[in-house]
Amino acid sequence: MKNILIIGATGQIGSELTMLLRKNYSGNVVAGYIPGAEPKGELKESGPSAIVDITNPQQIADAVSKYQVDTIYNLAALLSAVAENKPQLAWKIGLGGLFNTLEVAREKQCAVFTPSSIGSFGPGTPKDKTPQDTVQRPKTMYGVTKVSGELLSDYYFTRFGVDTRSVRFPGLISYVTPPGGGTTDYAVDIYYSAAKGEKFVCPIAEGTYMDMMYMPDALRAAVEIMEADPSKLVHRNSFNIASMSFEPNTIYQNIRKYLPEFEMQYQVDPLRQAIAESWPNSLDDTCAREEWGWKPEYDLDAMTQDMLAKLKERFG
């Protein structure tokens, strides 16, 4: 049995991870949310929820005490493009919020999962098959919070024994809850346009490669890293994980296999393009494979078939 608190449970990852954890574990799986982003439908009905604003340490501590939480999934963050427009808030949530979470975890002996990202790398990082341990000098506030979060999480493990673990997520693609304000969002939006029969206007230039992952693989990674045998972990915060790397024309051509009429044009967004160009083309995930058995299940074609089938059910 596990009692779990998910902070940011109604966001892109949280809405699906909360449901998966409720299926996997018999204890309390508490959906932490902020006012204005209340859980709805199955997410609301299937388990407890609590107002947990990550910038409010008392709210985190109260939820942890009330539900005897032993594991916290900290999913609160502003995504990369939004964070560039609101850097102060991005730091407050990303780093201030993580500090609050780790302090509660230290006092109440909780394990903590906090995702990092391909955004924790920068232009000085080797671009192809980026190694696990390498240069991390990001140029975005999002990246600065992610690399600082990795360091802070490792510090709480070595200094206080808090069981912190995490992965560096690529762009995540899902048909459930849309992302808000990321650089990789185009790879979600393109499927919505295709399924609705609309032309897609791509904000990222042809030839710009980034690592991507289908949500079921990402959710499995978040569960498996927290289940991993700690004696096998050489690394903790954070593991490179990977499943596919593509650029806009590759995904467009893949969708056209199933929808030959689908059209796309480019209208590059300078902010997102600059961020994308500062990130790696692809990550080397050997350490995750060796230390806790990470293995993706979806490639681009399998993801496209599933995304189009699910979105077509919704949009007809």
For residue 171, the minimal CB distance to ligand AKB (Å) is 5
Q: What is the spatial distance between Cα 204 and Cα 10, in angstroms, rounded to a whole number?
A: 27
For residue 211, the minimal CB distance to ligand AKB (Å) is 8
The interface with ligand AKB within residues 183-202 (CB under 6 A) comprises 183-184
- In the block, residue with structure tokens 């699906």: 16
Taking CB atoms, the residue at the shortest distance from ligand AKB is 182
Task: Note the Cα 242 to chain centre separation in Å.
Answer: 12
- 118 sits near ligand AKB (criterion: CB under 6 A): yes
For residue 130, the minimal CB distance to ligand AKB (Å) is 13
- In the block, residue with structure tokens 């949009």: 315
Q: What is the spatial distance between Cα 9 and Cα 144, in angstroms, rounded to a whole number?
A: 23
User: Which is closer to ligand AKB, CB of 142 or CB of 157?
Assistant: 142
User: Which is closer to ligand AKB, CB of 183 or CB of 208?
Assistant: 183
Sole binder of ligand AKB in the list 10, 28, 74, 80 (CB under 6 A): 80
Per the annotation, the verdict on 192 as an active-site residue is: no
CA angle 68, 71, 76 (to 5 degrees): 115
**Residue (of 187, 176, 230) closest to 17 by Cα position:** 176
Catalytic: which of 33, 73, 142, 298?
Answer: 142
For residue 11, the minimal CB distance to ligand AKB (Å) is 11
Amino acid of residue 201: V
For residue 272, the minimal CB distance to ligand AKB (Å) is 8
The interface with ligand AKB within residues 153-172 (CB under 6 A) comprises 169, 171
Sole binder of ligand AKB in the list 117, 136, 243, 278 (CB under 6 A): 117
Q: What is the spatial distance between Cα 122 and Cα 124, in angstroms, rounded to a whole number?
A: 6
Residues 115 and 169 sit within 8 Å (Cβ to Cβ): yes
Contacts of 234 (CB under 8 A, 6+ apart): 287, 291
Within 13 Å and on the Cβ side, how many CA atoms surround 233? 20
Size of residue set near ligand AKB by CB under 6 A:
12
Catalytic positions, please? 142
Residues that bind ligand AKB (CB under 6 A): 79-80, 117-119, 142, 169, 171, 179, 182-184
